[in-house]
Amino acid sequence: MTAAETAGTTDMTGTAVTRPLAGLRVVDLGQYIAAPGAGQNLADLGADVIKVEPPAGDQARGIGPLGQAMVRANNRGKRSLAVDLRTGAGRQVVDDLVDSADVLLHNFRHGVSARLGLDPDTVLARRPGLVYGFVTGFGTRGPSAYRVGLDVAAQAEFAVMDLTGEADGDPQRVGFTVADVLAAQALTSGVLAALLHRATTGRGEVVETSLMEAVVHAQAATWAEYGLSGAVPRRRGHGQALAAPAADLVRTRDGGALVLSAYTADKFAALCSLIGQPELADDPRFATNAARVAHRPQLLEVLHSTLGGLDRPQALERLRSAGIVCGAVRRFDEVVGDADVLASGLIADCRGAHAAYTAPTTPFSLGGRRPTSSPPAPEVGEHTGPVLAELGRSEADIRALTEGGVVVRADAGTAVPKEEPT
């Protein structure tokens, strides 16, 4: 069993955690987030994930702290094989690796896999039991199939930015790479479904998704809203368009802020009682959800004049005691030490010879448990020698590949050149 299969297999109590994909090998040819994020999910579930990088490494490694954060977050516990796919010997190494694998992942621009001889038809003809998963920007069937796809383009072109921000302000991107993350989750789901299908049929499958598909799917309720009403959804900042109060923001006396939702009849009545104005539940301006939506500015004036006169902890305590859905608007540094986050075991301790940091692990537990430790992201080519040895290459062969520049062995002290992202 490899280090990737055994590492991080205990929970917060030291109890062994069953990892359902232990024994499976995943070849991850991805860069940046979308495909590596799916590989990370499979690694957390126990798969031996081998990250195949060019000699200069994943392009994210060359773009400073932002790129290093991407690498650390999406490559924990993987093994790194650094190989030059532009050479025949390098392609043969990857072919041999794929022939030993259960899953192949990539996020090449459409057409690149065919040029490398790693397209689905070619690979599955040789390895029919393989699950082949990939992400593109805009799918492979439409006029944008060959466009470069990045997170911000998907947010812009598929209405995420148009729906984000103040009603009278500019469109805004979501504050993290939401399209990439959603695509990684979509690819993970498809790969797991394909592995289940393979378990019953013995046949591999091609799993395809895109940033476009991921963000459109995530807006299913908005899509249905548009279909039902015929009105184009518009950004409005705080608050939901068809319910009130719903996701509305209230600033408190101490400079904090909170959001609350109380749009059902019973919850709105409870809110009115809480703020000492029970008669508002029967006020014609607020007696129904439709009326509250129509008179939202007046409703918010009432909430700001009552709840806004309290400190945030006091307001939250009163709302929670009345059963009102609410939440403090918190900064990232407040979330890091959150007692519920820490108690969940969600944050894994990632330690190794080259790095030590924390990062979120699987967003679910199995049997009430999940791994709470993980090897950190590997250095470029850190595991090239051992992986090649597992493929049956002799030490002389490995040395020849290294000296010929086909592979990079970080364990041999090979210098890694920098490469600008494309």
pLDDT in tens, 363-393: 999 988 888 899 999 999 999 999 999 999 9
- Does the CA dihedral 225-230-232-234 come out positive or negative? negative
Please give the pLDDT value at position 367: 87
Please give the pLDDT value at position 15: 59
Inter-CA distances, 4 with 21, 23, 26, 70, 120, Å: 11, 10, 11, 20, 27
Residue 284 contacts residue 291 (beta carbons within 8 Å): yes
Q: Which of 11, 58, 180, 248 is catalytic?
A: 180
Q: What is the DSSP string of 288-355?
A: SHHHHHHTHHHHHHHHHHHGGGS-HHHHHHHHHHTT-EEEE---HHHHHT-HHHHHHT-EEEEE-SS-
Secondary structure class of 136 (helix, strand, coil):
strand
Please give the pLDDT value at position 421: 34
Please give the pLDDT value at position 121: 97
Please give the pLDDT value at position 4: 40
Please give the pLDDT value at position 13: 59
Q: What are the structural domains of the chain?
A: 25-219+343-408 (3.40.50.10540), 248-329 (3.30.1540.10)
The one-character DSSP state at 48 is: E
* pLDDT by 10s per residue, the chain, length 422: 344 444 445 566 555 566 899 999 999 999 999 999 999 999 999 999 999 999 999 999 999 999 999 999 999 999 999 999 999 999 999 999 999 999 999 999 999 999 999 999 999 999 999 999 999 999 999 999 999 999 999 999 999 999 999 999 999 999 999 999 999 999 999 999 999 999 999 999 999 999 999 999 999 999 999 999 999 999 989 999 889 999 999 999 999 999 999 999 999 999 999 999 999 999 999 999 999 999 999 999 999 999 999 999 999 999 999 999 999 999 999 999 999 999 999 999 999 988 999 999 999 999 888 888 999 999 999 999 999 999 999 999 999 999 999 999 876 543 333 333 33
Q: 241-296 pLDDT, tens per residue?
A: 889 999 999 999 999 999 999 999 999 999 999 999 999 999 999 999 999 999 99
Residue 122 contacts residue 202 (beta carbons within 8 Å): no
Residue 74 contacts residue 40 (beta carbons within 8 Å): yes
Please give the pLDDT value at position 370: 87
Residue 96 known to be catalytic: no
Residues in the chain: 422
Please give the pLDDT value at position 1: 36
Do strands 131-136 and 248-251 pair parallel, antiparallel, or not at all (unpaired)?
unpaired
| Spatial distance between the Cα atoms of 293 and 131, rounded to a whole number of angstroms | 49
| Spatial distance between the Cα atoms of 168 and 125, rounded to a whole number of angstroms | 55
